[in-house]
Structure 1
Amino acid sequence: MQKIKFVSDYQINTSKKIIYPYLSTASGLAQWFADDVVINEDKVYNFIYDGENHYARPVIMRINHHVKFEFFDPSDEEEVDTDHPFIEFKLEENELTQTFYLRVIEYGDAYDEQEQRSIWEGLINGLKEIIGG
């Protein structure tokens, strides 16, 4: 299946210190992004959606700035595929207006862009309700 890169920015009315744990910790991500998130002893995140496991490694963790998770198949011992799907969260500030934005970058199987945008708007609105932003 063809993969696409989805990129979208969302204005967030809160500080980086408040939102970062919701993007980087299992408990934070489980509140808005997945049904549940579990981290094992090897620091592999298991994102659980609709009863299905999705395993990811954190490949970037810059405190209060940037988080990137790369998904992989744990049963693939050789990991021949280097074109792994990923999800990335970047916290950016518009210095002119002093507003914060959450940039979401998702790379994975191709979906309808309008459907993808709708899914992310719902997720981000849920996150905003939790953090009050």
Structure 2
Amino acid sequence: MNKEKFIVEYDLKSVSPTLLWSYIGTKNGLADWFADDVQNEEKLFTFFWNKSSQQAHQIAVRSGSYIRFHWSDDEDEKSFFELRISSSELTGATMLVITDFAYPDEMADSRGLWDHQIETLRRKLGV
């Protein structure tokens, strides 16, 4: 069974893209909402949750726009997760667009995990 790509968009209202980038594009920012702690050496990031950790390689980045990671233990070389800043043309709101991959039977859980993480980010941003 292959993983399937999914994309979810989160409206972060009038949060400045520069502020949002500080939360998604830096290890300290990611440690504020995505994981309990984040360490990195060059492009290898280690994310800590409770007593477990997981490593990911930063495979692409455009400062102020997006960052893309590939989990080190994921055998599917095509899969990644990406955090991208976008603006709604209609409302002018800042959007965070998440691209991720999951097995079909884990899709709902994966989306739920992102929903939970983004709620934490919203609280940190005051949205």
Alignment of 1:1-133 (within 5 A): 2-13=2-13, 14-40=15-41, 42-73=42-73, 81=75, 83=77, 85-133=79-127
Residue 64 of structure 1 and its aligned partner are, at CA, apart by 1.5
Cα displacement string for residues 11-64 of structure 1 (whole angstroms, at most 9, x for unaligned residues): 012011001011111111111111211112x43101123422221121222122
Counterpart residue identity of residue 51, structure 1: K
Contact 1:92 1:103 in 2 (8 A): yes
Stretch of structure 1 that moved more, 123-132 or 91-100: 91-100
User: How far apart, in 1, do the equivalents of 2:109 and 2:44 lie?
Assistant: 28
Cα distance in structure 1, aligned partners of 2:30 and 2:114: 14
User: Contact (CA 8 Å) 2:43, 2:59: kept in 1 or not?
Assistant: no
CA deviation after TM superposition for structure 1 residue 4, in Å: 2.3
| Whole-Å separation in 2 of the counterparts to 1:21 and 1:54 | 21
Q: TM-score, normalised by structure 1?
A: 0.81
Root-mean-square deviation over aligned CA pairs: 2.0
2:39 is aligned with what amino acid?
A: V
Number of residue pairs matched by the alignment: 125
Please name the residue that 1:78 is paired with.
Answer: none
Q: Please identify runs of 4+ aligned residues in structure 1 that moved more than 3 A.
A: 108-111
Q: Distance in 2 between matches of 1:70 and 1:15?
A: 27
Gaps of 5+ in 1: 74-80
**Identity %, equivalent residues:** 27
Indicate the structure (1 or 2) with the bigger Cα radius of gyration: 1
Q: Which deviates more from structure 2 when the two are superposed, residues 7-16 or residues 95-104?
A: 95-104
AA aligned to 2:81 is I
